[in-house]
Structure 1
Amino acid sequence: MRHISGIRRAVAAAVVVAAAATSCTVQPSDGTGNGAGKQQPDAKPSATAPDGKPSKSPSSKPDAQEALLSPGDEGKQVRELQARLRQIAWYFQYPNGKYDAATVKAVKGFQEKRGLAKTGDTDPVTMKKLVGMTSKPGYFELYAGGDQPPAKPDKRCLTGRVLCISKSSRTLSWMIDGKVVSTVDVRFGSQYTPTREGVFSVYWKSRHHVSTLYDTPMPYAMFFSGGQAVHYSSDFAARGYGGASHGCVNVRNEGKIAALFGQVQKGDKVVIYW
């Protein structure tokens, strides 16, 4: 019996040696009779990102058409996109900085005309093509329809009650003790009838004024220098910056100029600067 046991032990040892010779590792059992970690010849290791999510395979092709700008986006980049599309007659509104339905329509039209994927999103290929066909929009192109940010207030605007008017930003800010109460878009006189610059004061208010020189309405007029006044202009409201005043400071938002007219008092300061 001892002899037979010795033979059995020798056979068992031989089996173990044979198994070791035909396998790289010995995997522990998972209790089901299958090796839980048994290596498969065709299996590829899967990479895992730090957040625990499977990462893309190194051979995966990157998405070169990922959108730079798309519906819902807002800001100066969208405004520049709209201004460029407007230069080549694809976008017919004033830039507003909002990637809205009109912007999507313009981008799709541009893409289709150039044989690009008609997605309505602005991807790198679309942007490169558009930039190559247009020039960088200037300030007045970006804000052709208004809504431009006001310029830094002149130091003369920082005390008291002031109509602080910047020619560079084309804005009027109503300020009290250095704080901006409200801001409106404005336009000025042409090169032949320029709006005067300097420090003035409101010396007369006329709610329903009509110009005796040009026979045109000047509602909510607040005169500050001779015949020049801040007032509402229906022409500015209709034509925008395509026109000019005869020296007055035109406001196109009637509701805002009406509110301003009610707040400004005779003697309040007017500062006009670049």
Structure 2
Amino acid sequence: MDEKQRNSRAVRRAVALAATAVVAVTTGCTAQASGAGAGPAVTAGGVTKPAAPAFEAADAPSAEPSPDATPTKAPPKEPAAAPAPSRTEVPEPRPETEPPAPRTLMASGSGGDQVRELQARLRQIAHFNRTPTGHYGPVTAAAVSSFQDKRGLPRTGTTDTVTWDRLLGMTREPTRAELRPPAADPVAKPDPRCMKGRVLCISKTSRTLSWMVEGRVVSVMDVRFGSQYTPTREGTFEVYWKSRHHVSTLYDSPMPYALFFSGGQAVHYSSDFAARGYSGASHGCVNVRDEAKIASLFAQVRDGDKVVVHW
């Protein structure tokens, strides 16, 4: 190949290379950058750089807002509500349960075996110095009051559940002899006039009535007499009238189981004696405070039986 042909081929090759470069610039058919959607490469200073991805122009937010756009303001936030102060629940005070009030068991006017036991127990600790009678009168009330005072209890003279429980805790169960001592125990020596026949032997010294048959004591009971202004007569008499449901015509007061022996004076049951004991007095009659005993006596005594009232 001559020189001319070689130059001509070189020129054609150069033209072909230039055309290829132009086509490459206009069509952008270069290797894509890594990642889909990359833009055409840009050649600058002989160095080919990949163009920015095509999606950036459309998707990237503009740096400045459009002049026609109305700026939107976020609604002001309401201040958060302050947390409610913690409350410590204070339970309402519960009313204290008061102990039940003491219940009354025995009081003045009461009678029966429980009263007899009360008297026997009080006698064990030297608060009652008489023979148990089974009748709750002023003497028993005073003994109960004395016991309550010594134990720091209210001095009511009434035996309530508290007083009774305290007494039970300090004493033992009374024996039969303590509850019902022999009849001769409280009785004074009988008057000689009482040793024969059927006699109501009444002693003002021991304040007792002994029902005696041929010198033997059948029963004994506590009695009280008239005051100094209406004294009970002394001497030997006879029962001349029995009246089971008698009522005094002078004083309009009941005289149950009346055994009349001298005028208007009689041996009879007295509810006042049972309630008040020796703090009271009769209008001359011989009062008996044990209703059961006088009822039994009334059934046994006959008209004409002797009555002896002595000191």
TM-score (norm 2): 0.45
Contact 1:82–1:103 under 8 Å retained in 2 = no
For 1:229, which of 242, 263, 266 is the aligned residue? 266
Q: CA RMSD in A?
A: 3.4
Cα deviation, residue 103, structure 1: 7.5
Identity of aligned residues (%): 68
For 1:247, which of 284, 288, 291 is the aligned residue? 284
For 1:99-248, list aligned pairs within 5 A.
106-109=149-152, 149-248=186-285
Distance in 1 between the 2:122 and 2:271 partners? 28
Larger Rg belongs to: 2
Distance in 2 between the 1:163 and 1:193 partners? 21
Q: Deviations over 1:128-178 (max 9, x none)?
A: xxxxxxxxxxxxxxxxxxx98121110110000000000011100000000
Q: Deviations over 1:110-138 (max 9, x none)?
A: 9xxxxxxxxx98xxxxxxxxxxxxxxxxx
Cα deviation, residue 237, structure 1: 1.0
Contact 1:173–1:184 under 8 Å retained in 2 = yes
Unaligned runs of 5+ in 2: 1-119, 130-138, 154-168, 171-183
Contact 2:199–2:305 under 8 Å retained in 1 = yes
Distance in 2 between the 1:242 and 1:204 partners? 29
Counterpart of 1:220 in structure 2: which amino acid? Y
Q: Which residue does 2:141 correspond to in 1?
A: 93
Cα deviation, residue 253, structure 1: 1.0
Instruction: Indicate how the Cα distance of structure 1 residues 170 and 82 shifts in structure 2: closer, same or farther if over 3 A, else same.
Output: closer
Contact 2:122–2:143 under 8 Å retained in 1 = no
Q: Which residue does 2:308 correspond to in 1?
A: 271
Counterpart of 1:245 in structure 2: which amino acid? S
Instruction: Indicate how the Cα distance of structure 1 residues 168 and 258 shifts in structure 2: closer, same or farther if over 3 A, else same.
Output: same
Contact 1:232–1:251 under 8 Å retained in 2 = yes
Q: Which residue does 2:298 correspond to in 1?
A: 261
Contact 1:148–1:169 under 8 Å retained in 2 = no
Instruction: Indicate how the Cα distance of structure 1 residues 167 and 76 shifts in structure 2: closer, same or farther if over 3 A, else same.
Output: farther
Unaligned runs of 5+ in 1: 1-73, 84-90, 97-101, 111-119, 122-146
Counterpart of 1:258 in structure 2: which amino acid? A
Distance in 2 between the 1:215 and 1:226 partners? 17
SS of structure 1 residue aligned to 2:260: strand
Q: Which residue does 1:27 correspond to in 2?
A: none
Contact 1:205–1:221 under 8 Å retained in 2 = yes
Contact 1:148–1:171 under 8 Å retained in 2 = no
Counterpart of 1:199 in structure 2: which amino acid? T
SS of structure 2 residue aligned to 1:156: helix
The count of residues paired between Structure 1 and Structure 2 equals: 159
Cα deviation, residue 108, structure 1: 4.0
Contact 2:207–2:222 under 8 Å retained in 1 = yes
Instruction: Indicate how the Cα distance of structure 1 residues 79 and 108 shifts in structure 2: closer, same or farther if over 3 A, else same.
Output: closer
